[in-house]
Amino acid sequence: MRRAIYPGTFDPITYGHIDIVKRSLALFDEVWIAVAKRREKETLFLHRERVLLTRQALVGHRRVKVVGFDSLLVTFAHRIKACAAIRGLRAVSDFDYELQMSLTNRQLRPPLETIFLAASERFIFVSSTLVKEIARLGGDVTPFVPSGIARALGKKFSK
């Protein structure tokens, strides 16, 4: 079984993330989406909310598992026996950071490879930050996120 891990904050998950997941399923038998609990990064949604929303967005994808994690990526990847980490790239500027992380992870746990997938042209401009800003200002986010995520964003910003 070839298992990959797709780590991220997913605050919230977008159609761009979901596209990366679907394309990863063509390369791996199973993809684990690992929702990071990031203490240094303030998120709109609590960790448990991000895990739940991500699960809801990917319901029906039987080869996808959504889990939360709060450790080094390489430690978690080793624990679940993942052979690769999936990372999406939207711009050249993403590559600098992602390459640094990939090389660091390889030093920490050599068997873990990183697979970079370029964002689809349809979603290359979509980011969780952009989606949150549109929602905060009362705009329609349904072109960028599933309806359950759009509703959750609406509730967060109507308070």
User: What domains lie within the chain, and their CATH numbers?
Assistant: 3-121 (3.40.50.620)
In this prediction, residue 133 carries a pLDDT of 97
In this prediction, residue 25 carries a pLDDT of 97
Distance CA 154, CA 141 (A): 9
Distance CA 62, CA 17 (A): 17
Which two structure tokens, joined as six digits, stand for 4?
A: 């990959």
CA nearest neighbour of 149 among 48, 19, 11, 36: 11
Reduced to 3 states, what is the DSSP secondary structure of residue 45? coil
In this prediction, residue 60 carries a pLDDT of 93
In this prediction, residue 98 carries a pLDDT of 83
In this prediction, residue 102 carries a pLDDT of 85
Catalytic residues: 17, 41, 90, 128
Contacts of 85 (CB under 8 A, 6+ apart): 4, 5, 6, 7, 73, 77, 102, 105, 112, 113, 114, 115
Tell me what percent of the residues of the chain surpass a pLDDT of 90. 81
pTM confidence score: 0.92
pLDDT per residue rounded down to tens, the chain (159 residues): 899 999 999 999 999 999 999 999 999 999 999 999 977 779 999 999 999 999 999 999 999 999 999 999 999 999 999 999 999 998 877 788 888 888 888 888 878 899 999 999 999 999 999 999 999 999 999 999 999 999 999 999 986
In this prediction, residue 138 carries a pLDDT of 95
113-118 β-sheet, strand order: 64-69, 30-36, 3-8, 84-89, 113-118
